[in-house]
Amino acid sequence: MVRDNSTASAHRFSVNSSHPSLRLSFIALCLIGAIGCARLSGSRSAELPDRRKVTRDSLVFHTNFYFPRRHRLIEELLAKRSNIKSILGLTPSDETIHIFLFQDQQKFRRFLTEQHPSFPDRRAFFLRSSTNLMVYAHWNARVAEDLRHEVTHAYLHSVVPEVPLWLDEGIAEYFEVPTSERGLNRDHLDYLVAENESGRWQPDLERLESLRQAGEMSQLDYAESWLWIHFLVHRNEKTLGLLQSYLQQTQYDRVNNNLKMWPQLEKFDADAPSNLIGYMKSLSTSTKLASIKTSQ
């Protein structure tokens, strides 16, 4: 993610094309006009999908194709809100989230090229203006994963507007998988195990917390951010409580964004990096054993 603190815009985005999800998350403080406007400029090719509208609770889907009101993807995203609340201990906001769902990749890319030419090529992205939360995506084989990730950003930012970069991405990577996976991102897990066994990676939360721009984050940083979140959520009730407490503190640090998790975690568990490695290896082993049992 990149943070641009200029008066024209302040946004964050992933610029690492090696990141396996190939997604994009933005926070834009200066944007276009009203959400209801279906066109951002005079060009018809740059139209936003807005011929059909499906509203379910706080989610408003804008499309140019038929999208059932009771589609299982909508049901999953609504359930994800409750899932985030129960795990993170955050009282959900009822703020509206607008989801612009393009029919195909071609229309989506045309919109990006004409309206946001500086944006990297991604399948989906999240935008936050001073008044609106918006997700942009296109229909594809991984649209469920894309929307789970980006809508998680929206849910989180509706409650905690200024989220530290590593925490923002770690939580989104955790919740992008189906709820039945309990936050297990297998690609990240396999990658981290391989990097650790080769001697190329050791966990360093203090370094992660120093990253301020998405362009500084590598694929390894996304994966490590996810692992810290999984560790804190699932290790025991005390680590989960520490994460929940940190999020609540972050809610009230909207100006300086100076709160750090590492000093709190180190005080609680001085061997946290070593324990994280042990947790990762145990998780990898149990996942492999479960896969073997399933295949038999």
Amino acid 5: pLDDT: 26
Residue 166 lies in a domain: no
The pLDDT of 113-132, averaged and rounded, is 88
Residue 24 lies in a domain: yes
Amino acid 43: pLDDT: 45
Least confident of 43-47, 155-159, 167-171, 247-251: 43-47
Of the three residues 93, 128, 159, the one that is the final residue of a domain is 159
55 forms bridges with which residues in the sheet? 60
* Judgement on whether residues 141 and 200 belong to the same structural domain of the protein: no
Amino acid 173: pLDDT: 97
Of the three residues 130, 159, 188, the one that is the final residue of a domain is 159
Amino acid 161: pLDDT: 85
Least confident of 105-109, 195-199, 212-216, 230-234: 212-216
Residue 168 lies in a domain: no
* Judgement on whether residues 121 and 32 belong to the same structural domain of the protein: yes
The pLDDT of 14-36, averaged and rounded, is 40
* Judgement on whether residues 85 and 154 belong to the same structural domain of the protein: yes
* Judgement on whether residues 152 and 200 belong to the same structural domain of the protein: no
136 forms bridges with which residues in the sheet? 100, 125
Of the three residues 103, 128, 159, the one that is the final residue of a domain is 159
pLDDT at 139 over 50: yes
Least confident of 17-21, 51-55, 230-234: 17-21
Residue 174 lies in a domain: no
Residue 173 lies in a domain: no
* Judgement on whether residues 149 and 245 belong to the same structural domain of the protein: no
* Judgement on whether residues 19 and 148 belong to the same structural domain of the protein: yes
Number of domains in the chain: 2
* Judgement on whether residues 288 and 209 belong to the same structural domain of the protein: yes
Confidence label for 293 from pLDDT (cuts 50, 70 and 90): low
Residue 167 lies in a domain: no
Q: What is the pLDDT of residues 57-73, one digit of tens each?
A: 999 999 999 999 989 99
* Judgement on whether residues 229 and 94 belong to the same structural domain of the protein: no
Residue 141 lies in a domain: yes
Residue 170 lies in a domain: no
Q: Which domain holds residue 244?
A: 179-295
Q: In angstroms, what is the C-alpha Rg of the chain?
A: 19
Contact 191, 219 (CB under 8 A): yes
Amino acid 9: pLDDT: 22
* Judgement on whether residues 210 and 258 belong to the same structural domain of the protein: yes
Confidence label for 292 from pLDDT (cuts 50, 70 and 90): low
Residue 261 vs residue 21, higher pLDDT: 261
Rounded Cα–Cα distance for residues 107 and 43 (Å):
13
* Judgement on whether residues 290 and 190 belong to the same structural domain of the protein: yes
The pLDDT of 1-30, averaged and rounded, is 35
* Judgement on whether residues 205 and 122 belong to the same structural domain of the protein: no
CA torsion, points 177, 74, 23, 222, in degrees to nearest 10?
-30
Q: What is the pLDDT of residues 171-185, one digit of tens each?
A: 999 999 999 999 999
Tell me the CATH number at 118.
3.40.30.160
**Mean pLDDT for all residues in the chain:** 84
The pLDDT of 132-156, averaged and rounded, is 96
Residue 9 vs residue 181, higher pLDDT: 181
Helix/strand/coil (H/E/C) assignment for every residue in the chain: CCCCCCCCCCCCCCCCCCCCCCCCCCCCCCCCCCCCCCECCCCHHHECCCCEEEEECCEEEEECCCCCCCCHHHHHHHHHHHHHHHHHCCCCCCCCEEEEEECCHHHHHHHHHHHCCCCCCCCEEEEECCCCEEEEEECCCCHHHHHHHHHHHHHHHHHCCCCCHHHHHHHHHHHCCCHHHCCCCHHHHHHHHHHHHCCCCCCCHHHHHHCCCHHHCCHHHHHHHHHHHHHHHHCCHHHHHHHHHHHHHHHCCCCCCCCCCHHHHHHHCCCHHHHHHHHHHHHHHHHHHHHHHHHC
Percent of the chain whose predicted confidence (pLDDT) is above 90: 67
Contact 72, 140 (CB under 8 A): no
pTM for this model (two decimals): 0.84
* Judgement on whether residues 101 and 151 belong to the same structural domain of the protein: yes
Rounded Cα–Cα distance for residues 93 and 34 (Å):
21
Q: What is the pLDDT of residues 245-280, one digit of tens each?
A: 999 998 887 554 578 999 999 999 999 999 999 999
